[in-house]
């Protein structure tokens, strides 16, 4: 095993992003405000974990036989994905959104090629969202073939396909809708979610371009 002199270093510090999402259809301002507070907690936890991991590494305590270090690293994946998935989720929403991607858009074309039609994709996406359990539904682009695929992610980090590009992210933890809907009304929340999808943002994620955000989102809130 190589020996080295421990050296301190500063970890990356993440800033909480801001989102202006007042006036969504079927998702109340109070629900969004409460949800954003939970997101802010993930940002704080990521920064705290990175600080502790960096400090232990700088003291030469990064070792497989150090359970405190390994536990921190294992927990970081949960908190980090919780932060990033929420940023994709909030930046996917927009007041006064259109009902579906434009027919001639690159997104609609890719969905039809991958799922047969936009409607078949949405039916599959919604069915996954109504699955029992807590987690996320994500429309990804697969890097090797560019095809689009739907995935269920348990918690925040179990089931994430490595290297895939997230396009549309839907939070189906109960905290995403409990203020507005009963626990048995997840389907109503999913219908509301689709009434607020910012399709131009999803399109730009697909084609890799930048453009103006919807009138309901700030420039700092992108996934």
Task: Give the confidence band of 62 by pLDDT, cuts at 50, 70, 90.
Answer: confident
Q: Say whether pLDDT at 215 is over 90.
A: no
∠ CA(47), CA(62), CA(86), 5° rounding? 25
Q: Say whether pLDDT at 202 is over 90.
A: yes
Task: Give the confidence band of 222 by pLDDT, cuts at 50, 70, 90.
Answer: very low
Instruction: Compute the average pLDDT of residues 78-99.
Output: 96
Instruction: Compute the average pLDDT of residues 144-166.
Output: 93
In sequence order, the 6+-apart residues with CB closer than 8 A to the CB of 81 are 153, 156, 157, 160
Task: Give the confidence band of 213 by pLDDT, cuts at 50, 70, 90.
Answer: low
Per cent of the chain over pLDDT 90 is 78
In sequence order, the 6+-apart residues with CB closer than 8 A to the CB of 35 are 86, 90, 171, 175, 176
- The predicted pLDDT at position 172 comes to 97
- The predicted pLDDT at position 61 comes to 86
Q: Say whether pLDDT at 216 is over 80.
A: no
């Amino acid at each position: 095993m190589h020996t080295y002199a421990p050296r301190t270093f500063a970890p990356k510090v993440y800033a909480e992003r801001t989102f202006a999402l007042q006036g969504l259809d079927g998702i109340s301002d109070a629900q969004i405000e409460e949800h954003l507070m939970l997101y802010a907690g993930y940002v704080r936890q990521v920064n705290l974990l990175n600080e502790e991991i960096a400090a232990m590494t700088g003291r030469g305590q990064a070792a497989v036989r150090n359970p405190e270090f390994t536990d921190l690293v294992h927990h970081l994946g949960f908190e980090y994905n919780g932060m990033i998935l929420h940023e994709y989720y909030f930046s996917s929403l927009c007041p006064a959104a259109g009902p579906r991607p434009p027919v001639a858009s690159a997104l609609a074309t890719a969905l039809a090629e991958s799922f047969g039609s936009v409607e078949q994709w949405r039916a599959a996406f919604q069915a996954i969202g109504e699955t029992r359990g807590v987690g996320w539904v994500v429309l990804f682009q697969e890097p090797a073939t560019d095809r689009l695929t739907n995935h269920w992610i348990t918690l925040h980090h179990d089931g994430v396909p490595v290297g895939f590009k997230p396009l549309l992210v839907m939070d189906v933890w109960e905290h995403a809708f409990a203020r507005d809907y009963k626990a048995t009304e997840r389907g109503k929340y999913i219908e509301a979610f689709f009434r607020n999808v910012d399709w131009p943002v999803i399109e730009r994620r697909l084609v890799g371009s930048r453009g103006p955000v919807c009138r309901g989102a700030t420039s700092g809130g992108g996934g």
